[in-house]
């Protein structure tokens, strides 16, 4: 502990500070509109942060998807785009990067993650089959259901408890998975859908021990194991920091070891891979690849571009290599932790442990006076925007949608508002401003009223739903 009253971030935690492994070469101005303007913008957006114009947003924490800052090398790579319709050199660079860092043999590019989810769901699910997974993700589950699959949540119970301190809350509960296999029979399981980290649980990681155990169980029953690798690099960081025997292993090696347990993966490269657009699907089975290659031309584009420009594939290939650098991952996840520790210190209810890509405010504990039908997480997102123009995302009852059979709301235990941190975009000063805004909303919590849903689209309703103040 230093004897000086003003302390750096590191000193406050009794350690040396870290810093981002880059400096800023180009900037984009930010603007905060005034309170009256924010009131007007929010009402016009139906109290839905997805419907705000980004020009009306000051600090945009809606998502970490496609919002990263690319490096000078990625921008330079864009200039080497080979915009041939077929066989672009950038495709082969992308294929090599995925083979090297994720380890799968066959690669199908797609325009983004859900394009890949669509293809794998269509090819690997027969109508009526079960798809066990470690918590739902909105687009993943929808594509599984559209293909006739029935999603079953087999994540550990701790994942649904925002206060549980378990270090690997993304883990699959082997007992739940085994019970499902016994009850329904291995032939009625399409595949196991494993995501690392688990977005809806708060960016929580899966341990290496867990993926190995899941691998052993699925192999025993001849069931395939597919990975949503969207934030697997961040997952690898948590394994390095928290799981026995990994502290001296590089992120890149941990990532490979994890992926090697699985039969294939899909990816929204808009997250870990530091690009503004792109995705892929990669597998080891030649027969399945043949089917996927046939299908990708129907929905995305030829199998050597999958809906992407050559330059986008080049930026992705370079982004993959940058994304597995230890100093990059560390500063990324530690920035998220910095914000989370500030809020925790101030007794503001957030999901613990702090996850990889975002801070998830626990809206149930924030607004105990509101029932889930008054949309506490949506309300909190609205309040944060009103306070100083910060855009966050509802991850509660609105995001969970309705049961396709009964038409009732899914009622998730987790009613959360996500402050998602883009990669390489905001500074520690921005995090301080965000923390103070959350504190202001918290201090005003008793006076906050809920919302009423007035318009609801059929699919992925949270994107376009509209609300009013009752």
Task: For residue 446, give every residue at least 6 positions away whose Cβ sits within 8 Å of its Cβ, in sequence order, or none.
Answer: 369
Q: Which of positions 413-442 make contact with ligand P61 (CB under 6 A)?
A: none
Q: Is 304 a catalytic residue?
A: no
Q: Which of 114, 311, 395, 423 is catalytic?
A: 395
Is 455 designated active site?
no
Answer yes or no: are the C-beta atoms of 62 and 420 closer than 8 Å: yes
80 binds ligand P61 (CB under 6 A): no
C-beta of 230 vs 378, nearer to ligand P61: 230
Closest separation in Å from C-beta 179 to ligand P61: 25
- Please, what is the minimum distance in Å from the beta carbon of residue 347 to ligand P61? 27
Joined together, the tokens standing for residue 420 give 């998602």
Can 462 be counted among the known catalytic residues? yes
Q: Is 60 in the site for ligand P61 (CB under 6 A)?
A: no
Q: Is 366 a catalytic residue?
A: no
In degrees rounded to 5, what are phi and psi of residue 108?
-120, 115
Residues with Cβ within 8 Å of 167's Cβ and at least 6 positions away in sequence, in order, are: 205, 207, 238, 242, 353
Q: How far is the CB of 437 from ligand P61 (least distance, A)?
A: 20
- DSSP letter at 65? S
Residue 129 interacting with ligand P61 (CB under 6 A): no
Binding mask of the shown chain, residues 256 to 295, with x at each position contacting ligand P61 by CB under 6 A: ------------x-x--------x----------------
- Identify which of residues 171 and 230 has a Cβ nearer to ligand P61 in the complex: 230
> Is residue 452 flagged as an active site residue?
no
Q: Is 195 in the site for ligand P61 (CB under 6 A)?
A: yes
The CA distance from 102 to 135, in Å, is 23
What is the b/e burial string over 221-248, where b = at least 16 CB atoms within 10 angstroms of the residue's CB? eebbbbbbbbbbbbbbbbbbeebeebee
**Residue of 228, 272, 312, 362 with catalytic role:** 228
Crossing angle of the two packed helices 35-44 and 376-388, in degrees rounded to 10: 150
Q: Which is nearer to ligand P61, 88 or 399 (CB)?
A: 399
Q: Does residue 114 touch ligand P61 according to CB under 6 A?
A: yes
Rounded-to-10 torsion of CA 422, 427, 433, 437? 20
CB of 460 to ligand P61, least distance (A): 6
Measuring CA to CA, which residue among 198, 333, 318 is closest to residue 269? Answer: 318
Nearer to ligand P61, 65 or 171 (CB): 65
Active site residues: 85, 137-138, 228, 271, 395, 462
Residues within the interface to ligand P61 (CB under 6 A) = 63, 65, 112-114, 137-140, 195, 199, 228, 230, 268, 270, 279, 393, 399
């Amino acid at each position: 502990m230093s004897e000086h009253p003003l302390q750096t971030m590191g000193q406050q935690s009794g350690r040396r500070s870290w810093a981002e492994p880059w400096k800023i070469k180009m900037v984009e101005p930010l603007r905060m509109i005034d309170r009256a303007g924010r009131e007007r913008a929010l009402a016009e957006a139906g109290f839905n942060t997805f419907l705000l114009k980004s020009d009306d947003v000051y600090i945009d924490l809606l998502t970490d998807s496609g919002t990263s800052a690319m490096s000078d090398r990625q921008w330079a790579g864009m200039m080497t785009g080979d915009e041939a319709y077929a066989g672009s050199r950038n495709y082969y660079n992308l294929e090599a990067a995925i083979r090297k860092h994720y380890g799968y043999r066959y690669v199908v590019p797609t325009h983004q993650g859900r394009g890949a989810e669509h293809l794998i769901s269509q090819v690997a699910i027969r109508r009526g089959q079960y798809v066990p997974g470690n918590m739902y993700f909105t687009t993943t589950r929808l594509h599984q259901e559209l293909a006739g699959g029935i999603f079953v949540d087999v994540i550990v119970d701790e994942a649904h408890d925002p206060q549980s301190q378990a270090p690997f809350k993304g883990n699959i509960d082997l007992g739940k998975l085994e019970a499902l296999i016994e009850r329904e029979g291995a032939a009625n399981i399409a595949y196991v859908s494993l995501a690392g980290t688990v977005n809806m649980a708060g960016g929580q990681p899966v341990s290496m021990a867990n993926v190995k155990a899941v691998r052993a169980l699925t192999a025993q029953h001849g069931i395939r194991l597919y990975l949503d690798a969207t934030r697997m690099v961040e997952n690898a960081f948590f394994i390095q920091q928290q799981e026995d025997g990994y502290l001296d292993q590089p992120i890149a090696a941990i990532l490979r070891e994890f992926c090697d347990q699985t039969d294939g993966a899909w990816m929204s490269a808009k997250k870990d891979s530091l690009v503004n657009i792109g995705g892929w699907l990669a597998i080891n089975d030649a027969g399945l690849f043949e089917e996927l290659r046939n299908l990708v031309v129907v929905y995305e584009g030829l199998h050597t571009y999958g809906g992407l420009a050559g330059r986008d594939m080049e930026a992705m290939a370079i982004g993959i290599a940058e994304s597995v650098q230890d100093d990059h991952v560390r500063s990324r996840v530690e920035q998220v932790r910095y914000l989370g520790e500030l809020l925790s210190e101030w007794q503001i209810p957030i999901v613990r442990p702090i996850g990889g890509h975002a801070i998830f405010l626990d809206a149930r504990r924030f607004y105990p006076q509101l029932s889930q039908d008054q949309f506490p997480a949506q309300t909190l997102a609205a309040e944060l925007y009103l306070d100083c123009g910060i855009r966050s995302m509802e991850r509660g009852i609105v995001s969970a949608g309705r049961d396709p059979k009964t038409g009732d709301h899914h009622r998730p235990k987790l009613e959360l508002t996500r402050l998602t941190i883009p990669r390489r975009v905001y500074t520690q000063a921005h995090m301080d401003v965000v923390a103070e805004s959350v504190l202001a909303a918290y201090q005003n919590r008793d006076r906050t009223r809920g919302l009423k849903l007035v318009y609801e689209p059929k699919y992925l309703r949270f994107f376009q739903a509209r609300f009013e103040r009752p």
